[in-house]
Amino acid sequence: MESLDSGNCGKSAEVVVFLFVTFLVLMLMGMEVFFSMSMASYLGILFKSSRQVDPSIMPLRMVAGIDEYTLVAIPLFILAGELMNQGGITRRLIDFSLTLVGHLRGGLSQVAVITNVTMAGISGAAVADASATGSILIPAMKQEGYEPAYAGAVIAAAALIGPVIPPSIPMVIYGVMSHQSIGKLFMGGVIPGLMIGAGFMGICWVVARKRNYPQRERYSWKSRLRATLNASWALCMPLIILGGIRFGIVTVTEAAGVAVVYALLVGMFVYRELKWSHLAELFYQTGLTSGVILILLSAAGIFSWLLAESQISLVAAQAILAISSDPRVVLLVINALLLFLGCLLEPLPAMIIALPALIPIGLQIGVDPIQFGWICVFNLMIGMLTPPVGLLLFISAAIGKIPMGPLVREVIPFLFVSLVVLVFVTYFPPLTTWLPSLM
């Protein structure tokens, strides 16, 4: 029996290695992620010598990969973010943040962090937050004498908070893949997200004092009150979303729908910056972004199913647990693996590849699924700040016309803070489990 098991594991390992190598080779050849993953899955099916899996299963598994009601929340949150940016909500949040921290040394960098913390409670998408705040704040920081690379690094790092503080699009995907409560997963990100924001503000304060960046005059309480009232509709949006989920008034999908309706009404009838003529373009952009995510998930349906059919979880568990049976060591190995994977792949493909193997390991070593979800997602979010695939770096570089080399150097302190928070999330479970336990 042992030899039979080892033989099966050996064949499974061969299929898994073939899948990953084929996928990476096709990616390096310049093929898009969807086609790379689909072609690797097709060749992986042909590679299996047992012939128990037929290529005709591919369309069925691809449809099954996105046949989840919960995934409706993804385009809705994306649309809410688009409506927020077009409807003037982003600019009012920036003005509000400016009255709070604009008088500090390097105030605009602090404004970037505060604004992204607030916006994180609305859109849940790092790319959208980076584009919205970067287009306004990078030119403003340049005008006030900030080094362009530092301005870009602040925007890229601050946008990392978007998928951490709920709502979080990557966490919706994790919840679907792991069959966990997305509402509880959302709540688990509140404390780590605020920790990252506080750490980034500390970095901004130190750098501003060291480089003598300018500070504005302190705003009067009257100006602060006016800015708060002006942004009050925008500030209520995260409270409605999180409060509704926390107290069970709405589901995550319903909360996304509420966010869309709220952003539409505020942008069109309160701030009056959103016009009927804007909607067609906003719907198009939302459909484009959502389509990219969902088509990747459809390819992931067959890819992850083939990994599961090849017993990848068993093979991975044996390999990782062979290093150590101590949960602390196992988590360290998983962190290292995910950080490496995040440097090479965007978060969504990385989640699709890694999670089917890692989720059972987390259960086996007794880690709370909510905590383990944030360990996995946070690792891959950090990858958005690391070359060669750091998506947030490319967005900031494109917006500010900034060379990549200096930008990477300036982002290193923010990466250090992110890694420190990751260590706390990994080895201090209440940070991610306490708020969900109250639901």
Structural domain boundaries enclosing 336? 56-437
Specify whether 154 is located in the same domain as 276: yes
Res 410: pLDDT? 94
Q: Domain end: 40, 55, 70, which one?
A: 55
Please state, in angstroms and rounded to a whole number, the distance separating the CA atoms of residues 25 and 139. 39
The rounded mean pLDDT for the chain is 83
Specify whether 18 is located in the same domain as 42: yes
How many structural domains is the chain composed of?
Answer: 2
Res 349: pLDDT? 77
Specify whether 50 is located in the same domain as 64: no
Please state, in angstroms and rounded to a whole number, the distance separating the CA atoms of residues 266 and 197. 27
Q: Which of 190-204, 237-251, 297-311 has the lowest mean pLDDT?
A: 297-311
Please state, in angstroms and rounded to a whole number, the distance separating the CA atoms of residues 281 and 430. 43
Specify whether 39 is located in the same domain as 168: no
| Average pLDDT, integer, range 367-390 | 88
9, burial (CB in 10 Å: exposed 0-12, middle 13-18, buried 19+): middle
Please state, in angstroms and rounded to a whole number, the distance separating the CA atoms of residues 306 and 20. 12
Residue 131: CB atoms within 10 Å: 19
Specify whether 51 is located in the same domain as 147: no
Res 378: pLDDT? 92
Q: Is the pLDDT of residue 126 over 90?
A: no
Q: Is the pLDDT of residue 218 over 90?
A: no
Res 3: pLDDT? 41
Specify whether 3 is located in the same domain as 67: no
Q: Domain end: 55, 73, 90, which one?
A: 55
Specify whether 103 is located in the same domain as 231: yes
> Residues with Cβ < 8 Å from 143, sequence gap 6 or more?
none
Specify whether 51 is located in the same domain as 128: no
Q: Domain end: 26, 55, 84, which one?
A: 55
Res 342: pLDDT? 84
Please state, in angstroms and rounded to a whole number, the distance separating the CA atoms of residues 235 and 147. 31
Specify whether 282 is located in the same domain as 391: yes
Please state, in angstroms and rounded to a whole number, the distance separating the CA atoms of residues 276 and 367. 49
- For residues 313 and 371, the model is more confident at 371
Res 313: pLDDT? 61
* Token code pair at residue 325: 């049976």
Q: Which of 11-15, 327-331, 387-391 has the lowest mean pLDDT?
A: 11-15
Specify whether 49 is located in the same domain as 96: no
Specify whether 320 is located in the same domain as 330: yes
Q: How confident is the model at residue 124 (pLDDT cuts 50, 70, 90)?
A: low
Residue 135: CB atoms within 10 Å: 15
| Average pLDDT, integer, range 272-279 | 88
Q: Is the pLDDT of residue 117 over 50?
A: yes
Specify whether 17 is located in the same domain as 158: no
